[in-house]
A and B are shown apart, each in its own frame.
Chain A
Amino acid sequence: MLSGMMFPIRCFSCGAPIADKWERFVEGIEAGEDPGKVLDRLGITRYCCRRMFLSHVEYFEEIVQFDSWFGKSR
């Protein structure tokens, strides 16, 4: 299992904390806003941090769902 399942806490290149802005970014693009404009609004200015948002695929929820059907449980 990779740490890539959930959005990374920090930018891979510069190390700035970015995960706290992830949910606001998703809310923005789900509302139909332009992804670049959302990032500008959230104050993500460097392109190393911007690509973290734009290229991320969140598939942790699918694994959670899989585990809740077939996996370990208490």
Chain B
Amino acid sequence: MQASIIQEDEQKIKLLFRGIPLSVLNSIRRIIINEVPVMAVDDVLIIENTSSMMNEVLAYRISLIPFVTDLDNYRLPETCDCKSKLGCEKCTARFSIKAVANESPITVYSRDIKPVGDTGIVGPINGDFPIVKLAPGQAIELELYVRLGKGKMHAKWQPAIATLSYDDDSKYLFIESFGFLEPRRIILEAVKIFEEITNELSQTMIDSLRGEKLENEEGKVSTSNPSN
């Protein structure tokens, strides 16, 4: 079993594996896309929107902007103990957007998303995303609730592109981060989640097989392998 980095920059990483089954690497690839939590706008409170864009289109565009993710200080809303619909400071980062066009038309960018309170490193990955254009007299005022989420729930939380290719015994895992997390961190998180899933799977199997064995001792009909 052997793994090495053959190409790396702040956006992409390419790894070479030898002696690891393709199916295991594919599980890691799929975990990168579906299971690694990253941050995006989850709730939008529309205070004012007189722009030419409808509320839902505006909220959708904002939700697709990737946010730099702080995995060490934030928790997934479903595992947070606040149990609040709006969330607490441990599971939700608050931002706001306020823009008015007075004499001339303006474009609202992701750089106009301003943090409310202390959000740490969390924020849009860059300020160049055009959100909406406003004609003179139009205005928007929104409050944004940024939360952790997984790619399997919504594509806005997909952290990266991950592809797998192979050539005899050499397998190449290519990852292009969307900017939420560094490529290295994405792989480390994916491997951690892979371990959690396999541990949970083996534990459930052990528990259910033990359960059947107990039933056997009580004289009930067993469906398990008789050699055990």
Residues of A within 8 A of B (CB): 1-3, 5-7, 9-10, 14-17, 19-23, 60-61, 63-68, 71-74
Contact = CB atoms under 8 A, between A and B. Distances in A.
A2 B137 CA distance: 22
Interface in B33-53: 50, 52-53
A6 B130 CA distance: 9
B149 to A, nearest CB: 14
A63 B135 CA distance: 10
A32 B173 CA distance: 38
- 9 closest residue pairs by CB, A with B: A68-B135, A20-B128, A9-B64, A73-B137, A67-B52, A64-B135, A19-B129, A63-B52, A20-B129
Q: Is the interface of B mostly helix, strand, loop or mixed?
A: loop
A67 B130 contact: no
B167 to A, nearest CB: 21
Contacts of A15: 155, 158, 161, 178
Most chain B CB neighbours (cut-off 10 Å) among A2, A15, A16, A63 = A15
A7 to B, nearest CB: 7
A74 B52 CA distance: 13
B175 interface: no
A22 B128 CA distance: 9
Contacts of B54: 1
Given A1-B52, A1-B54, A16-B161, A68 B128 contact: no
Contacts of A21: 128
A19 B60 CA distance: 14
A66 B53 CA distance: 12
Contact of B130 (A10, A16, A19): A19
6 contacts: A6-B61, A15-B155, A60-B53, A64-B134, A64-B138, A67-B52
